[in-house]
A and B are shown apart, each in its own frame.
Chain A
């Protein structure tokens, strides 16, 4: 599960993936809404890892 934490690095640091204007969404060029979309996705991925770990003392 911990491998999920690497996905935001791959998705955001490989810039040629998303350095485009189209397709746009609600007036936002792709470059912008793609990166903004990674915010909730990252939270969700971290939550998945959080749920899957064995609860510890703290």
Chain B
């Protein structure tokens, strides 16, 4: 990578960064409401976002900067297998359409702000509420750290060295998130998403034209994989198919369990807003599919990188004039700000509502909730920054991978009660523990790989650990529910309801 500062892309970058900074601070007064007086205002933007704002906001925080760096990097390195992100971000929408409007209705009617609020309200269990909140916070922290990595990659591509630019960018982000709450990323998401759409549409037209068309792009990638060998290629090896499908399904089920995606859901105006978004959000998935192909275009352009994460910045530097490369880098960096802000808000909401309010100050006022959440969001961001500055990058990647596995384990507690009240809190708690325990142990003992292999009737099957853990979780929850129901039957007569 060049160590020389590239002034033209850097100027473009500074311009757009300044623009969104001003927007971030002005956002406090957008769709007016006093952000400091109620957590619904700071943490959910006033629960008033309509179809378009929600489309930009959820699109902006679900398709993160790290995705734009990491998906093409994986596709560049291994080929078809990296494409699991595409079926994942398609099948997530039928799930969103069927489930999220019901969740929104519960949250809206009871004034819930977080997933753990919903779980506490429906199961009346402090323990279950606590583990759901803890899972959300712990799974989100490394995800924020990954956004910093995404931003760091493009800052490095502009020739800036050292950690100071990254720290400065993050401090500014922390300040306007503190003052404007969810309104800041919602407003900035408009800029971010439009920039990303421009970059990708230009890239998918111009790059193949320069490289001899899509046929040539795929052929170049195929040659690279033939030379490389192993589990790479333009289509999946038979042994990869189950892993591909279970990764897609597992990731889709986990996606809307995260605090940042649920914050987008709870902040919307109506259940119908969410339904319309399930129809409209796949536009971003089309974009993601095209972004993934940048990995193959890099092969056609003969890009050689030391770290696969540099594939996208190197490709833009090699094929575009420096001002457009700067525009693309700005888009990616701003693309890191939106999810990082929403993630820290989601985690702060969990901390405020389900840890601070539940255990420290149950009589907290609405204004008190807002100020605790604002401070919590700062702490979360400083934590993520420290993580990146003081620990090896690999830790953040490993933890984020485990985070996906962990966050999936709250699904039974959060979602099942929307359809059936049969499951008992004790069972769901045990199921959660079994899923987290088995999943973490399996991933750990496989060298932090998300895949596990079982042998069955002489054949071996490799699958995504997270999905295996979720199945175990549901089975344990069901068995424990049967046992607890049976045990508590004689006690039910005359005894007060369980707490």
Of A8, A20, A56, most B-chain CB atoms within 10 Å:
A8
Main secondary structure of the interface of B (DSSP, over half): helix
In-complex Cβ contact of B91 among A13, A15, A27, A56 (8 A) = A13
Q: Which residues of A contact B285 (CB under 8 A)?
A: 39
Q: Is there an interface contact between B214 and A26, defined as CB atoms closer than 8 Å?
A: yes
Report how far A19 CA is from B105 CA in the complex, Å: 40
Q: Quick check: which of B242-250, B433-441, B468-476 contacts chain A, the rest being far away?
A: B242-250
Q: Is there an interface contact between B83 and A14, defined as CB atoms closer than 8 Å?
A: no
In the assembled complex, the CB of A25 is this many whole angstroms from the nearest CB of chain B, namely 9
Say if the beta carbon of B236 comes within 8 Å of chain A: yes
Q: Which residues of A contact B275 (CB under 8 A)?
A: 50
User: Known: A12-B91, A42-B90. Contact between A19 and B241, CB under 8 A?
Assistant: yes
In-complex Cβ contact of B94 among A5, A15, A28, A31 (8 A) = A5
Report how far A24 CA is from B222 CA in the complex, Å: 14
Q: Chain B 76-103 against A: per-residue CB contact (8 Å), 1 yes, 0 no?
A: 0000100100110011011001100100
Q: Which residues of A contact B91 (CB under 8 A)?
A: 8-9, 12-13, 42
Q: Which residue of B lies closest to A15 (CB)?
A: B241
Contacting residues of chain B (228-279) with chain A, CB-CB under 8 angstroms: 234-236, 241-242, 244-245, 248-249, 270-272, 275-276, 278-279
Say if the beta carbon of B282 comes within 8 Å of chain A: yes
Q: Which residues of B contact A36 (CB under 8 A)?
A: 86, 286, 289
Report how far A25 CA is from B499 CA in the complex, Å: 60
Report how far A44 CA is from B208 CA in the complex, Å: 29
In the assembled complex, the CB of A4 is this many whole angstroms from the nearest CB of chain B, namely 8
In the assembled complex, the CB of A1 is this many whole angstroms from the nearest CB of chain B, namely 12
Say if the beta carbon of B447 comes within 8 Å of chain A: no
Report how far A14 CA is from B278 CA in the complex, Å: 23
Report how far A36 CA is from B101 CA in the complex, Å: 26
Instruction: For the A-B complex with A27-B217, A43-B93 known, give 4 more contacts whose Cβ atoms are closer than 8 Å.
Output: A13-B249, A15-B245, A19-B241, A50-B97
A residues contacting B by CB (< 8 A) are: 2, 5-6, 8-9, 12-16, 19-21, 24, 26-29, 31-32, 35-36, 38-40, 42-43, 45-47, 49-50, 56, 58
